[in-house]
Amino acid sequence: MNFLPVIQIASITGIWGISFVVFLFAGATAALLSGAGKPRQRCALAIAVGIVICAVFVFGEWRLQSNPSTEPVAVTLIAKDVPMSVYLGSEEQALELLREYADEVRRVTPSGTQIVVLAEKIGRVSQNKLGEVDALFSSAASATHAAINLGVVRRTPSGAFNSSRLYSANGKLEANYDKHHLVAGVEPEKTGDKRVTLDQSSGGWGLQICKDMDFPLLSREYASDGANLLLVPAWDFNLDRWLHARMAVLRAVENGFALARSARNGLLTVSDNRGRILVKVATVADRFVSVSGKVNVAREKTFYARTGDWFACFCVAMFGVLVASQLSERLRRT
């Protein structure tokens, strides 16, 4: 993930192309060192594999240089690591933490910020207190002249939902998104089934939450919806902070959108549609951490976003052809 020229192939093949290229070199080296085949065959293999790997590098470098420049979006990310007892505590504790977040938004958001992304599941709030939360963050959005993306659990009579709520810069509640992919055995909430993309002057802003970005199909659907910036409240587990942040970054490379991800117990990251990490900071216990930056949100509908997992299907089909040819050869010999 840190070697950007290689991961650009994901914009054509998805993650499957990265795995293929990594193992192609190892597999070809093993075949060459095995001594199998005639010298001419081994030479042809080395040349063919060399051409493929060089082509991947050339494409990757070309794509990194070809990103069109557009007016950037100014983003601020804010999160605070708190003990689990606070999250599982009383509703008043949740409201107090949400008030702290609103105050922090007012305190640290730079002038000119267009969107503030907060962490996932900051607190659990009942339906009759949700209006108070909305008023709190609507006021903060109006005061800072920046949209705010809030992660909160909505407890309704029909069940609880892990939600991402977006307040516009003028204080209006613009959208509510409910998480599609919950962590089994950990999240008792109900799953959502609707995508949310908001039309902005910079393009489409899409909403996802944490584990949603582990699933390529949902991000491809957002790409089809025209999203060029994904806003992602998240909650990681400290040990997986690098891994889980980079999984989300790869979805952005695959589908051609920028990413603003704010993870408690994790990393606050802003990345562009080439996978460049533009700003990054790790959260710490019991105090707020924030970071601000600008990201180019030029829209690019990638080949992978249009075609899906074609390369994986191609590899399976080729494997079937090779197995069939080997079986056919053995039958002829017998």
pLDDT in tens, 270-319: 999 999 999 999 999 999 999 999 999 987 889 999 999 999 999 999 99
Per-residue pLDDT at 223: 96
In this prediction, what percent of the chain has a pLDDT beyond 90?
A: 93
pLDDT in tens, 187-216: 999 999 999 999 999 999 999 999 999 999
pLDDT in tens, 11-42: 999 999 999 999 999 999 999 999 888 999 99
Q: Measured at the alpha carbon of residue 142, what is the angle toward residues 136 and 146, in degrees to the nearest 5? A: 105
Mean pLDDT (the chain) is: 96
* The token pair that represents 262 in the structure block: 């704010």
Per-residue pLDDT at 67: 78
- Tell me the whole-structure pTM to 2 decimals: 0.93
Distance CA 52, CA 211 (A): 33
Does the structure show a pLDDT above 80 at 327?
Answer: yes
Cα–Cα separations (whole angstroms), residue 105 to 69, 79, 257, 291: 29, 10, 25, 11
pLDDT in tens, 122-139: 999 999 999 999 999 999
Per-residue pLDDT at 82: 96
Residue 333 confidence class, pLDDT cut points 50, 70, 90: confident
Q: Give me the helices (H) in the chain, please.
A: 4-7, 10-13, 15-34, 39-65, 84-87, 91-108, 127-144, 216-225, 241-255, 303-307, 310-333
Q: Three-class SS of residue 103?
A: helix
Return the minimum-mean-pLDDT range out of 59-73, 155-169, 251-265. 59-73
Distance CA 171, CA 180 (A): 26
> Which residue is listed with tokens 């504790």?
93
